[in-house]
Amino acid sequence: MSKSDLLVFLDDEGIPIEFHDYKHPEYMQVYKPFIPYVSALDLWFNCGKDSLRIINGE
């Protein structure tokens, strides 16, 4: 099933689809360049107590 077929099927079944444009925050990592979408553990190990502030976009 193609992506467009799936979207048509879900629409026909009344299943709502929502997309969002997530902008991954950059934070200090040990090695460069920054690699996004690694894991929450990567953020936690690299930023410690500041992790929640970074997740909340503060």
**Domain coordinates in residue numbering, the chain:** 24-58
Mean pLDDT of 4-13: 91
What pLDDT shows up at residue 49? 93
Question: pLDDT per residue over 15-34, tens digit each?
Answer: 998 888 878 888 999 888 99
What pLDDT shows up at residue 52? 92
- pTM for the predicted model, two decimal places: 0.57
Q: How far apart are CA 14 and CA 8, in angstroms?
A: 10
Task: Give me the numbers of helices (H) and strands (E) for the chain, helices first please.
Answer: 3, 0
57 contacts 25 by C-beta, under 8 angstroms = yes
54 contacts 43 by C-beta, under 8 angstroms = yes
Tokens matching residue 41: 């553990």
What pLDDT shows up at residue 16? 92
